[in-house]
Amino acid sequence: MSTSADSDKIKLRLHYWDCRGRAQAFRYMLEDIAYTHKNLDYKEDFEACETISNTWGERRTDHTISGPFRSLPVLHWNDTHTFGQTLTIAHILARKFNLYGKTTSTYNDPILLEGYINGIVTCAYTDVITNILQAIWATPDIEDMHSPGYFQIAMARDNLESLNKILKQSSTSFYYNQTEPTIADYFAFEAYLMTRNMHRKLLPTNCEALEKLEQIMKERPALANYFQNNRLFKRITAAPHEEEYLQKLSKIK
């Protein structure tokens, strides 16, 4: 696989559930990438969440569907390479399509800059997004810190506070003085949105930098089109009780 993604014709097929889940952050990346790279043929195939308890058990044994780890998401690259796992897919896309930013006077070592950026990605995904997904499955009482599963939302809130603080230190609207979004910004964007969509009470007191990031990301042509056409799934997880649980939370002021 060539290290350049600017000239070769590239065919990408993402296979995931019809919910936001673990893939949404790099879905935003793929939308922007497809908009700016005209040599890219990108499409997404969906697996219905309702099939998890019936037909998925059989379908996941087919590695052309479930990839090397027999789980989704799966990214097929030019019908010759198949990748699984969220962070692996996201890092490949960032590497191939230059989403690790450019060195600046403050961050003048590309390897160290990549390390800083990966720290944001890992925090947003592991400590915020994953915890929110687990919390929806666990259905904690968000007003009772002793409720089973409350730990996940407390962790998400604390780490969003850190993500906001680090972003606020940047001289631009993106992490680490970048003039264009990196992989870090896409993951922090989704971490903030997903948490807020669960309930605003889960957000830290100060989200000013993340709020600004949301506004700027939604103004990007590809993402503006994505949201205007209601392509963001309302469903966050495959949990059968999610709608009922989120409706219950919506009544909390």
| Same-domain pairing of 91 and 115 | no
- What's 90-145 look like in SS3? HHHHHHHCCCCCCCCCCCCCHHHHHHHHHHHHHHHHHHHHHHHHHHHHHCCCCCCC
Beta-carbon contacts of 241 under 8 Å, excluding residues fewer than 6 positions away, are: 139
Residue 70 sits in the same domain as residue 92: yes
The 10s digit of each residue's pLDDT in 126-144 is 999 999 999 999 999 999 9
Count other Cβ atoms within 10 Å, centred on residue 89: 24
178 within some domain: yes
Q: Which residues contact 212 (CB under 8 A, 6 or more apart)?
A: 173
The number of folded domains in the chain is: 2
Q: What is the mean pLDDT of residues 138-162?
A: 94
Asked if residue 1 is part of any domain, the answer here is: no
Q: Is residue 86 in some structural domain? A: yes
Residue-level pLDDT at 218: 98
Q: Are residues 129 and 218 in the same domain?
A: yes
Please report whether residue 5 resides in a domain. Answer: no
Residue 105 lies in a domain: no
Q: Which of 127, 21, 126 is nearest to 73 (CA)?
A: 21
Q: Are residues 155 and 181 in the same domain?
A: yes
Q: Residue 148: what pLDDT?
A: 87
* Residue 164 domain flag: yes
Query: Is a pLDDT exceeding 90 seen at residue 116?
Result: yes
Q: What is the b/e burial string over 152-185, where b = at least 16 CB atoms within 10 angstroms of the residue's CB?
A: bbbbbbebbbbbbebbeeeeebbbbbbeebbbbb
Q: Are residues 47 and 135 in the same domain?
A: no
Confidence grade of residue 8 (pLDDT, cut at 50, 70, 90): confident
Average pLDDT (135-162) is: 94
The reply to whether 4 falls in a domain is no
In this predicted structure, the answer to whether residue 150 has a pLDDT above a threshold of 80 is yes
More confident residue, 182 or 1: 182
Beta-strand pair 10-17/74-77: antiparallel
* pLDDT, tens digit, 9 for 90 and up, residues 51-94: 998 999 999 999 999 999 999 999 999 999 999 999 999 999 99
Q: Which pLDDT belongs to residue 16?
A: 98
The CATH number for 125's domain is 1.20.1050.10
- 31: domain CATH number is 3.40.30.10
Q: Are residues 162 and 197 in the same domain?
A: yes
Q: What is the DSSP-derived secondary structure letter of residue 52?
A: T
The answer to whether the Cα torsion of 160, 95, 71, 78 is positive or negative is positive
* Percent share of the chain, pLDDT over 90: 94
- Answer whether 97's CB lies under 8 Å from 37's CB: yes
Please check whether residues 69 and 132 belong to one and the same domain: no
242 and 157 fall within a common domain: yes
Domain boundary residue among 41, 64, 96?
Answer: 96
Domain of residue 89 covers: 10-96
Are residues 125 and 224 located together in one domain of the fold? yes
Both 184 and 85 in a single domain?
no
Across all residues in the chain, what is the average pLDDT?
96
Both 123 and 243 in one domain: the answer is: yes
Span 113-134, mean pLDDT?
98
